[in-house]
């Protein structure tokens, strides 16, 4: 029996390996034929889901392991260059693609004056840093656009951030954002690119970081002015696109979608203090049209199905951030930061319509009015203290107290009007036979309190040592409200039911860690770390308990 199981396991592993495809190739700069390191190579399925990814190395070469063979779309991108797309048929164990040449983005480089040569992407001991503030691309982009250009980073259709195809945790200014999916996408879309200093990609986080994100951590660092006096910047963008939209029974109509963004950064730095204020506002409109038509013949009987939807999406984002650093003396600094992001998304279909016909006879007609509304409100406060023991050894102690309050609310409304069966088909202005109403409302409130102490120093003649401890308390309140109802033609009565599903959850987490690292030349870094965590979680009724 043991031999049979071993053989079966070997066969399964062999079959799994044989179904994979190893993709190899290289990326160069089209303008000078030089290798292009740190370019992002992503393999996407038909629905834009990233299935695998990689980053080119110093000589421009890359390797991507595609888990399942099939038809894919290959995307190669790098900040300051036009993104390259091509279809990919992963039908064998290994594929060697011809060298891909990325062309510089000429529109972005116009009117840019080079004052100093600073690498856009640089490899540091434990992370990859993209110096966004040194790139002209930041002048006309938001934080989401910049993040898409970071080495190895891609964003799937649901707004999830991936690093080499794996989920990551996104931090802002060294602190967790506590967001993912559409909430994070909305916040980043409303953050102006001119306020971003750099993006740090940490593929293999040390023991210093919380255990979250399979693919690592991405830390978005915002700008802080270091020149004394009054400093500031202001930017505004306005743009739009016009579309002709058409759906059966509606005829053609024109629609204009406008986007705008405004951001302002002001700081006042003296010998003893540094005060800054950042404000960013962004609004966008978008239309997504989905028309499907299916016709088939079954034994001489024709079948036809049609559905059309003109979807409108409006989003609005507003972020306010202010802080102050007090330089007590040359060794001690006390700081406070307050951040207040706001975001809202409203999506609705402009009278979605569908019907089915069999043998030329209309069997069903439905007029739908789906509406989705999402709002996000956050309050984040931080009190921090830094004491420098010895600058020559980079020996310093930092302490942070953080409070995070998050409120998200979502409404999903789906009203389906079942129309009379008419021949010839007419649906505009008709009374309905019945209406089915479905409303889902969810509220989610999160409060997080945390305290953290970190110490770092160079020891043993060149090793960087880090150690620290953290405690965090989080409490989550969830409420899901569902309303199902139906109304029949000629009847003012609505029959239905309402279901409430409340749930709360509390969690205490304590952690200590220690890390020792050293870099040997430009190619090798050795790091060892140990982290211990203790978690106690429960709900109010104690029906859920984890220790």
Contact 52, 65 (CB under 8 A): yes
Averaged pLDDT, 434-455 = 92
Mean pLDDT of 267-272: 87
What integer is the mean pLDDT of 462-489?
Answer: 90
- Is residue 215 scored above 70 in pLDDT? no
pLDDT tier at 226 (50, 70, 90 boundaries)? low
pLDDT score recorded for residue 16:
43
68-77, 210-219, 256-265, 456-465: segment of lowest average pLDDT: 210-219
452 conformational bin, left if phi > 0, alpha if psi -120 to 50, beta if neither: beta
Residue pointed to by tokens 């004052």: 115
If we measure between CA atoms, which residue out of 464, 412, 415 comes closest to residue 440? Answer: 412
Q: Find tokens 């990919």 and name the residue.
A: 88
Helices (H) and strands (E) in the chain, counts: 4, 30
Question: What is the four-CA torsion angle of 122, 123, 128, 131, rounded to 10 degrees?
Answer: -20
Nearest to 430 by CA among 379, 355, 344, 527: 355
Phi then psi for residue 16, to 5 deg, are -65, -45
The predicted pLDDT at position 190 comes to 67
Tokens found for residue 292: 């499907």
Summarize the confidence of residues 348-360 as an average pLDDT: 82
The dihedral through the CA atoms of 249, 436, 313, 292 has a sign that is: negative
Q: What mean pLDDT is predicted for residues 310-336?
A: 90
Question: Which token pair is 12?
Answer: 């399964």
Rounded Cα–Cα distance for residues 371 and 54 (Å)? 38
Preceding omega of 347 cis (within 30 degrees of 0): no
The rounded distance, in Å, linking the Cα atoms of 339 and 319 is 7
Are 349 and 310 in contact by the 8 Å Cβ rule? The answer is yes
C-alpha 402/C-alpha 335 separation (Å) is 12
Q: Of 173-177, 270-274, 495-499, which one has max mean pLDDT?
A: 270-274
* Residues sharing a CB contact under 8 Å with residue 462, sequence separation 6 or more, in sequence order: 518
Task: Flag the least confident range among 66-70, 446-450, 467-471.
Answer: 66-70
The pLDDT value given to residue 299: 80
Arithmetic mean of pLDDT over the chain: 82
Whether the Cβ atoms of residue 334 and residue 325 lie closer than 8 Å to each other:
yes
Q: What is the pLDDT of residue 249?
A: 66
- Give 29 or 118, the one with higher predicted confidence: 29
Q: How confident is the model at residue 15 (pLDDT cuts 50, 70, 90)?
A: very low
> Checking DSSP bridges between strand 50-55 and strand 40-44, what pairing results, if any?
antiparallel
- CA–CA gap between residue 178 and residue 368 (Å, rounded): 35
Q: Is the pTM of this model over 0.85?
A: no
Q: How confident is the model at residue 447 (pLDDT cuts 50, 70, 90)?
A: very high
Q: pLDDT grade, residue 116 (50/70/90)?
A: very low
Q: What is the dihedral of CA 507, 513, 519, 523, to 10 degrees?
A: -40
Average pLDDT over residues 201-218: 74
What is the C-alpha radius of gyration for the chain, rounded to an integer number of angstroms? 28
Which residues, 6 or more positions from 473, have their beta carbon under 8 angstroms from its beta carbon?
Answer: 448, 449, 450, 506, 507, 508, 509
Mean pLDDT value of segment 118-135 = 74
Report the alpha-carbon distance of residue 531 to residue 513 in Å, rounded: 4
Question: What residues contact residue 467 under an 8 Å CB cut-off, 6+ apart?
Answer: 454, 455, 456, 512, 513, 514, 515
**pLDDT classification of 404: cutoffs 50, 70, 90:** very high
pLDDT category at 366 given cuts 50, 70, 90 is confident
Spatial distance between the Cα atoms of 93 and 46, rounded to a whole number of angstroms: 21
Looking at residue 81, the DSSP 8-state letter turns out to be B
For residue 432, what are its two tokens? 């309905």
How confident is the model at residue 28, as a pLDDT?
Answer: 92
Length of the chain: 547
Cα–Cα dist 346/409, whole Å: 12
More confident residue, 216 or 372: 372
Query: Which residues of 16-60 form beta strands (DSSP E)?
Result: 21-29, 40-44, 50-55
The widest CA-to-CA distance across the chain, in whole angstroms, is 89
Confidence of residue 5 (pLDDT cuts 50, 70, 90): very low
Q: What is the pLDDT, as a whole number, of residue 224?
A: 67
């Amino acid at each position: 029996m043991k031999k049979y199981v071993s053989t079966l396991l070997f066969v399964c592993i062999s079959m799994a390996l044989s179904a994979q495809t190893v993709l190899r190739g290289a990326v160069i700069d089209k303008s000078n034929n030089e290798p292009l390191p740190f370019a992002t190579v992503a393999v996407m399925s038909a629905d834009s889901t990233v299935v695998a990814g990689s980053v080119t190395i110093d000589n421009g070469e890359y390797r991507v392991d595609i888990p399942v063979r099939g038809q894919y779309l290959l995307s190669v991108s790098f900040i300051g260059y036009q993104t390259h797309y091509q279809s990919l048929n992963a039908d064998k164990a290994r594929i060697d693609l011809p060298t891909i040449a990325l062309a510089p983005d000429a529109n972005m480089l116009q009117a840019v004056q080079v004052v100093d040569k600073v690498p856009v992407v640089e490899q540091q001991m434990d992370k990859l840093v993209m110096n966004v503030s040194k790139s002209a691309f930041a002048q006309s982009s938001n934080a989401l656009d910049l993040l898409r250009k970071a080495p190895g980073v891609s964003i799937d259709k649901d707004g999830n951030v991936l690093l080499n195809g794996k989920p990551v945790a996104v931090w802002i200014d060294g602190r967790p954002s506590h967001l993912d999916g559409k909430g994070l996408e909305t916040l980043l879309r409303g953050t102006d690119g001119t306020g971003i200093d750099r993006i740090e990609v940490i593929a293999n986080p040390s023991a210093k970081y919380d255990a979250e994100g399979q693919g690592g951590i991405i830390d978005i660092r915002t700008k802080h002015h270091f020149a004394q006096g009054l400093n500031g910047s202001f930017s505004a963008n306005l743009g739009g696109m016009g579309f002709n939209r058409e759906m059966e029974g509606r005829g053609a109509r024109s629609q204009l979608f406008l986007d705008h963004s405004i951001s302002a950064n002001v700081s006042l730095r003296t010998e003893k203090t540094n005060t800054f204020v950042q404000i960013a506002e962004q609004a966008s409109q978008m239309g997504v049209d989905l028309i499907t038509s299916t016709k088939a013949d079954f034994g001489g009987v024709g079948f036809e199905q049609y559905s059309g939807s003109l979807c409108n999406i409006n989003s609005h984002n507003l972020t306010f951030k202010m802080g102050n650093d007090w330089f007590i003396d040359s060794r001690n600094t006390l700081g406070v930061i307050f951040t207040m992001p706001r975001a809202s998304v409203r999506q609705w279909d402009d009278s979605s319509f569908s019907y089915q016909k069999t043998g030329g006879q209309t069997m069903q007609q439905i007029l739908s009015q789906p509406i989705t509304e999402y709002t996000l409100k956050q309050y984040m406060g931080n009190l921090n203290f830094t004491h420098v023991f010895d600058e020559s050894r980079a020996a310093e102690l930092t302490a942070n107290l953080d409070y995070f309050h998050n409120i998200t609310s979502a409404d999903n409304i789906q009203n389906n009007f079942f129309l009379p069966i008419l021949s010839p088909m007419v649906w505009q202005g008709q009374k309905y036979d019945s209406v089915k109403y479905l409303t889902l409302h969810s509220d989610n409130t999160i409060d997080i309190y945390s305290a953290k102490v970190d110490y770092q120093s160079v020891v043993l003649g060149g090793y960087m040592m880090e150690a620290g401890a953290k405690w965090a308390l989080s409490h989550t309140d969830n409420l899901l409200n569902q309303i199902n109802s139906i109304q029949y033609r000629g009847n003012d009565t609505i029959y239905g039911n309402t279901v409430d599903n409340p749930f709360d959850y509390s969690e205490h987490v304590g952690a200590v860690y220690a890390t020792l690292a050293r870099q040997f030349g430009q190619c090798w870094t050795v790091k060892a770390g140990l982290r211990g965590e203790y978690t106690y979680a429960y709900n109010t009724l104690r029906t859920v308990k984890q220790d």
